[in-house]
Amino acid sequence: MEESLVKRLAGPSTGKAGLAKDQTEINRIIAQASKGSKFFENERRKDQELTQRIHKLIKHRDELLKGIDVGTLSHSASVLICKLSQSQILNLETSQRDLSQYIVHADMDAFFAAVELLDNPKLKGHPFGVGKGVLTTASYDARQYGVRSGMPVMGILRQYDPEMLAAGADEAFLNITNYCKEHSMSPEECVQKLQTHVHAATSLTVSAGIAPNKMLAKICSDKNKPNGQFQLLFNRDAILSFMRDLPIRKIPGIGRVTERLLDAIGIKTCGDIYSQRAVLFLLDKQFHSESLFLTYLGIASNVVQPMHRNERKSVGSERTFDPINDPGLILQRLEQCAQDLEGDLEDKGWAGQTVTLKYKLDTYQAIVILRLTVFTRAKSLTRFVSTKKELLTIGKSLLLTELPLCIRLIGLRVTKLKDLRAPENQGVKRLMASPSKKPPQDVVQKEETDVDLEEERAMAEYEDEIDQEAIMASQAAADEAENDDVDSTSPLTSNPITAFSKRKLVEPLTHDNPSSAQKPTSVTRQVVDRTEPETFTCPICDKSLAVDNDSLNQHVDFCLSKDAIMAATIMSNESSKRRKL
């Protein structure tokens, strides 16, 4: 059996966190047990598709390589890497790698098992599993656990950084720079104290990584599990050598698929990113070479601040069940989703402008009849919806065109959200408080319309419950109108993403959060690394570049424009051919 397939069967998280060493043996057993099952067939098909994809990628690479001199390409990539090594996150004044912030990633060990233990002390000493099957879910169960146990861990962590960033139920990022300074502690001491603190209060153990940015801290927190800490040395060389041998899969965002794609072009470790820089640069479209180069350099964001409400993009609800094909039963499941989603939207204060239906086909159907298992169908509206009735109406209309189906999952999700708690969206209240007040003219027209519609809808509901049917009818009519709308107008908006800002690895300074923006200035800059190269020669034009940041960037941006590079490489290729003749 193909090695890649064995790996796939072992599950999506294989190789990510510290797993048992003899995983290959376990993999073999799992593969054996799965042989012949529908599940296995499905996985094999996906694996073969990926293998095909890899073949195409290699072919594409070789095609591109034909007209291009690899040496020159490598040099070009070097220039980009050099530029990136000087790019910086917070320290705009010096344009140096910012090593001034102590970033911690705290990761609770065996969180769900530990919480279960708190709730059911009887289980202590006995082996037990959490959840229905083998593993438990993250947020779904966390919700229950949160209610039952009232875990105080996040509260404790926040004492070390009030601007802590919670990442799920059992992880958090902290910037402990200020805490260390105020308490005259080293970062290790601080984290040790934090670990003891949490353990005393909850009997949970925490693993932590200390590093100059979030990505490195996260990787480090995995180094000494459980109940350990690992600090990276705060200097450039230590970071580079740490990255060099790090398996690429350890990088957040590199999953099973990307791992295999990268493997196919000779990249297994982050150090390989550099040795294969020419190919990565060539295949920039597929791999986001800039992101990978930053990863190789160990550069990432060190901004730690709580998630802001307006960063939320979608709210949804979905459920898995034994496969059903009876339309009535399917509708019942859909209704449940609509109900749950209404509850969530109400709780959190959101309404959405796009409703998406999701369903998963019964495995048998999926394999035999179709290639795909998961489908989504969306509908965009001109108004914002949040009630069960509205969600169900739209969900139904999306579902209807799909029937008949035999499915094992159904879900609804709303996107293009409006924050009903934002002051400007407090429709009814604002209307009541100052009925004659008109908003300023420079307010975006569309937004104004939405607010009015929202007010209208809310008012109508207050007016008369009996009128509900009439309202629904008018909404249905509006839906029809929108249908035509969507069908007749479909301008394809081109993606404005440029070659050098594909992924948001480096967060911009935000202006709406003065406290965090000021943070770096209140911290000593003595630790700032001074070993970055100060000058270099551009390999394309052989020009010696000034240290001055502006002119450097300007020059490099020019030399790195795809056209300039291709022109240069092809020219050098041609001239070398001519020399041979």
Question: Sign of dihedral through CA atoms 114, 116, 119, 123?
Answer: negative
Closest CA to 15 of 232, 226, 258, 209: 258
Q: Which of 502, 508, 91, 88 is nearest to 298 (CA)?
A: 88
**Which residue bears the tokens 């910037």?**
175
161 binding DNA? (CB under 7 A): no
Q: What is the DSSP letter of 277?
A: H
Task: Assess 339 for contact with DNA (CB under 7 A).
Answer: no
Report, in Å, the least distance between residue 41 CB and DNA.
10
Cα→Cα distances 228→211, 501, 533, Å: 15, 36, 35
Q: By CB under 7 A, which span of 84-92, 264-272, 491-499, 526-534 interacts with DNA?
A: 491-499
Determine how many CB atoms are found less than 10 A away from the CB of residue 407: 24
Determine if 167 is a binding residue for DNA (CB under 7 A). yes
* Minimum CB–partner distance for residue 87 and DNA (Å): 17
Nearer residue to DNA within complex by CB, 200 or 372: 372
CB of 416 to DNA, least distance (A): 6
Minimum CB separation of residue 219 from DNA in Å reads 10
> Does 497 help bind DNA (rule: CB under 7 A)?
yes
Strands 103-108 and 206-211: antiparallel
DSSP-assigned beta bridge partners for residue 231: 210
Site for DNA in 372-401 (CB under 7 A): 372, 374-380
11 in contact with DNA (CB under 7 A): yes
The structure tokens listed for 423 are: 């002051």
* 446 sits near DNA (criterion: CB under 7 A): no
- Is 171 labeled as catalytic in the residue annotation? yes
Among 74, 207, 231, 258, binds DNA (CB under 7 A): 258
Nearer to DNA among residue 161 and residue 362 (C-beta): 362
168 binds DNA (CB under 7 A): yes
Rounded distance, CA 130 to CA 526, Å?
A: 48
The values of phi and psi at residue 191, to 5°, are -65, -40
Q: Is 236 in the site for DNA (CB under 7 A)?
A: no
Contact positions with DNA (CB under 7 A) in 515-574: none
Q: State the Cα–Cα distance between residues 399 and 393, nearest whole angstrom.
A: 10
Q: For the chain, how many residues are written?
A: 581
Number of residues that bind DNA (CB under 7 A): 73
- Using CB under 7 A as the binding rule, whether residue 171 contacts DNA is answered as yes
- What residues does 361 pair with on adjacent strands? 407
Determine which residue in the list 7, 75, 413, 418 makes contact with DNA, applying CB under 7 A: 413
Interacting span for DNA (CB under 7 A) from 63-71, 168-176, 180-188, 455-463 = 168-176
Rg (CA), the chain: 28
Among 1, 2, 25, 33, binds DNA (CB under 7 A): 33
256 sits near DNA (criterion: CB under 7 A): yes
Single out the residue of 99, 130, 246, 254 in contact with DNA (rule: CB under 7 A).
Answer: 254
Q: Interaction with DNA in 273-292: which residues (CB under 7 A)?
A: 285, 288
| Contact region with DNA (CB under 7 A), list: 161-169, 187-195, 266-274, 422-430 | 161-169
Query: Toward DNA, which CB reaches closer, 286 or 513?
Result: 286
Site for DNA in 312-331 (CB under 7 A): 312-320
Nearer to DNA by Cβ, of 444 and 492: the residue is 492
Q: What are phi and psi of 186, to 5 degrees?
A: -80, 160
Sheet with strand 374-385: strands edge to edge: 314-324, 407-419, 350-361, 374-385
Residue 543: count other Cβ atoms within 10 Å of its Cβ. Answer: 11
Q: Are 42 and 364 in contact (CB under 8 A)?
A: no
Q: Is 492 in the site for DNA (CB under 7 A)?
A: yes
Q: Please report the beta strands in 111-255, taking only residues with DSSP state E, as ranges in sequence order.
A: 165-166, 171-175, 206-211, 229-231
Residue 181 or 312: the one with the smaller Cβ distance to DNA is: 312
Q: Which stretch binds DNA (CB under 7 A): 200-208, 462-470, 484-492, 518-526?
A: 484-492
CB of 20 vs DNA, minimal distance in Å: 16
Taking the CA atoms of 207, 208, 214 and 215 in sequence, report the sign of the dihedral they define: negative
Sign of the C-alpha dihedral computed for residues 416, 373, 252 and 112 taken in this order = positive
- 502 part of the interface to DNA, by CB under 7 A: yes
Of 55-84, which residues contact DNA (CB under 7 A)? none
Query: Which residue number, 32 or 561, has a Cβ lying nearer to DNA?
Result: 32
Question: Which among 116, 171, 259, 318 is annotated as catalytic?
Answer: 171
Q: Which of residues 354-373 bind DNA (CB under 7 A)?
A: 354, 356, 363, 372
- From 62, 63, 182, 311, residue interacting with DNA (rule: CB under 7 A): 311
Which stretch in 155-163, 247-255, 293-301, 532-540 sits in contact with DNA by CB under 7 A?
247-255
Task: Report the nearest approach of DNA to the CB of residue 480 (Å).
Answer: 14
Residue number with CB closer to DNA (16 or 519): 16
The edge-to-edge listing of strands for the beta sheet with 229-231 is: 165-166, 171-175, 103-108, 206-211, 229-231
3-class DSSP state for residue 96? Answer: coil
Q: Which of residues 113-152 bind DNA (CB under 7 A)?
A: 132-135, 137-140
Looking at residues 182 to 211 of the shown chain, list those that interact with DNA (rule: CB under 7 A). Answer: none
Give Cα 412 to chain centroid, integer Å: 20
**347 or 469: CB nearest DNA:** 347
What type of residue sits at position 537? T
By CB under 7 A, residue 493 contacts DNA: yes
CB atoms within 10 A of CB 313: 9
Q: Which is nearer to DNA, 200 or 497 (CB)?
A: 497
Judge whether 109 and 206 are in contact, CB under 8 Å: yes
How many alpha carbons lie under 13 Å from residue 134 in its C-beta half-sphere? 1
Task: Tell me how far, at minimum, the Cβ of 571 lies from DNA, in Å.
Answer: 27
Give dist(CA 191, CA 232) in Å, integer: 13
Mind telling me the catalytic residues? 171
